[in-house]
């Protein structure tokens, strides 16, 4: 379903858009790597099911699965690399303060398709080794500020090259917890709260996502076995084209031996305690880490003032959506 938008006009042609996408991707990943001391590595498109390395997202999304002629076992296309990255830090032998980033390409077959969501997902996934004493909000917030500065710097370079685009980002990002947001807007839905707070501040880090709020439900779904729900969050921007909150990153300090057991129990997913991945966390085989994903197409869509994610990456859409996109001057790739 395509959102209704008014007075939308594409500022860049299809060819200009493709060139701008490359400009953004080349520039931002260098800034991110420099800010967080990350090394680029190659990443898998699929993993064996029994490794426990695939991301379960909210726990209800179906994975794309297949078998291979010369391999035994069920193979799954990744939904994200949240778990694989921490395993990679261990396998590559990275030290404290060092990390990795990679191009993550995924298929999410159960995504509700609209202006912001496609069955194809592309992210810069990153992960970094930290110390036990780094597992606190101050360290999380400092990392968010480094990422946000890279986003602001990239926007300025994009706008300097494409002068038809507008400056949209404030110099600083605002931090607010899900509990504080609930107190502020108790009568609004979760998404309405995000829309309100981003409309006011334009760039927000909404943290502590996963544990129940006063009404007994979490602000949003989070897998129990990678982010520590007390030390995670989303970077949200206000999208002036769509007039709503626009998530560009989900990130957090990762679970340790204690928090992974508490969170799996809270979600009644104790069966995951016996996966190789979980056991490696409980036995302190895997390093403590912080990590996240930054949407490549989301960032391009935001900088280039596009109304639909299909304008910055090719995917599949219904005939009805393609017809409506044409009526709204939305150029799907």
Q: CA-to-CA distance for 147 and 252, rounded, in angstroms? A: 12
Mean pLDDT computed over every residue of the chain:
92
Residues 6+ apart with CB under 8 A from 296: 25, 103, 122, 123, 124, 313
Strands 38-40 and 244-254: unpaired
| Active-site annotation holder among 194, 227, 234, 256 | 234
pLDDT confidence of residue 327: 83
Distance CA 64, CA 244 (A): 30
Indicate whether 227 pLDDT > 70.
Answer: yes
Residue 100, strand partner residues: 39, 127
Q: Are 220 and 56 in contact (CB under 8 A)?
A: no
pLDDT digits (tens, 9 = 90+) for 166-219: 999 999 999 999 999 999 999 999 999 999 999 999 999 999 999 999 999 999
More confident residue, 330 or 302: 302
Q: Is 258 helix (H, G, I), strand (E, B) or coil?
A: helix
234 in active site: yes
Give the lowest-confidence range in 107-111, 165-169, 268-272: 107-111
Q: Which of 228, 51, 38 is nearest to 127 (CA)?
A: 38
Dihedral-angle region of residue 162 (phi above 0 means left; psi in -120 to 50 means alpha; beta otherwise):
beta
297 is a catalytic site residue? no
pLDDT for residue 61: 76
Q: What is the domain partition of the chain in residue ranges?
A: 14-327
Contact 59, 104 (CB under 8 A): no
126 phi/psi in degrees, rounded to 5: -140, 155
Q: How confident is residue 77, by pLDDT bands cut at 50, 70 and 90?
A: confident
Q: Of 86, 108, 135, 298, which residue is the catalytic one?
A: 108
Residue among 162, 38, 11, 172 at smallest CA distance from 100? 38
**Cα separation, 169 vs 192, whole angstroms:** 20
The pLDDT value given to residue 58 = 66
Fold adopted by 14-327: BirA Bifunctional Protein; domain 2 (3.30.930)
What does the pLDDT read at residue 92?
94
Question: Catalytic: which of 55, 125, 256, 311?
Answer: 55
Of the residues 79, 80, 250, 296, only one is catalytic, namely: 250
Sign of the torsion angle spanned by Cα atoms 198, 204, 209, 214? negative
Catalytic residue among 157, 247, 262, 269: 247
14-36 vs 137-161: helix crossing angle, rounded to 10 = 150
Strands 289-295 and 65-66: unpaired
Handedness of CA 320, 18, 12, 204 (dihedral sign): positive
pLDDT of residue 59: 66
Q: Point out the catalytic residue in the list 79, 123, 259, 297.
A: 123
Determine the average pLDDT of the residues in 267-278.
Answer: 91
Q: What integer is the mean pLDDT of 54-75?
A: 79
Number of CB atoms found within 10 A of residue 39's CB: 12
Q: What percent of the chain has pLDDT over 90?
A: 70
| DSSP tag of 18 | H
Indicate the SS3 state at residue 291. strand
Whether residue 250 lies in the annotated active site: yes
For the residues 286-314, what does the mean pLDDT come to? 95
pLDDT value of position 273: 93
Report the distance separating Cα 255 and Cα 265, nearest Å: 13
pLDDT at 127 > cutoff 90: yes
- Residue 148: strand, helix, or coil: helix
Beta carbons of 5 and 328 less than 8 angstroms apart:
yes
Told to judge if 55 belongs to the known catalytic residues of this protein, a careful annotator would answer yes
H/E stretch holding 236: strand 227-239
Q: What is the dihedral of CA 73, 78, 82, 85, to 10 degrees?
A: 70
- Alpha carbon distance 18, 1 (integer Å): 24
pLDDT exceeds cutoff 80 at 309: yes
Output the pLDDT for position 332.
87
* Cα torsion 68, 49, 102, 118: sign: positive
């Amino acid at each position: 379903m395509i959102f209704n938008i008014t007075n939308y006009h594409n500022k860049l042609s299809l060819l200009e858009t493709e060139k701008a996408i490359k400009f953004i991707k080349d520039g931002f990943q260098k800034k991110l790597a420099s800010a967080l001391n990350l090394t680029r590595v190659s990443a898998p498109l699929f993993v064996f099911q029994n490794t426990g390395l695939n991301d379960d997202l909210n726990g209800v999304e179906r994975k794309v699965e297949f078998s291979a002629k010369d391999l035994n076992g069920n193979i799954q296309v990744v939904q994200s690399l949240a778990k694989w990255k921490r395993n990679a830090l261990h396998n590559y032998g990275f030290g404290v303060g060092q990390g990795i980033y990679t191009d993550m390409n995924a298929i999410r077959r159960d995504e509700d398709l609209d202006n912001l969501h496609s069955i194809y997902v592309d992210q810069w996934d990153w992960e970094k080794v930290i110390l036990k004493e780094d597992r606190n909000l101050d360290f999380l917030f400092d990392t968010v500020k480094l990422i946000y500065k890279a986003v602001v710097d990239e926007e300025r370079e994009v706008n300097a090259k494409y002068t038809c685009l507008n400056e949209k980002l404030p110099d600083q990002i605002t931090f607010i917890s899900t509990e504080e947001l609930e107190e502020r807007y108790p009568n609004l839905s979760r998404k309405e709260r995000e829309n309100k707070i981003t409309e006011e501040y334009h760039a927000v880090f909404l943290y502590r996502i996963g544990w129940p709020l006063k009404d007994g439900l979490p602000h949003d779904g989070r897998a129990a076995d990678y982010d520590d729900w007390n030390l995670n969050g989303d970077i949200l921007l206000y999208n002036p084209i769509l007039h709503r909150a626009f998530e560009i990153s989900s990130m957090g300090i990762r679970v340790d031996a204690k928090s992974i057991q508490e969170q799996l129990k809270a979600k009644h997913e104790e069966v995951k305690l016996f996966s190789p991945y979980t056991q490696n966390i409980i036995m302190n085989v895997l390093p403590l880490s912080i990590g996240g994903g930054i949407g490549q197409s989301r960032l391009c869509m935001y900088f280039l003032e596009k109304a639909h994610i299909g304008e910055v990456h090719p995917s599949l859409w219904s005939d009805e959506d393609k017809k409506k996109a044409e009526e709204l001057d939305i150029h799907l790739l």
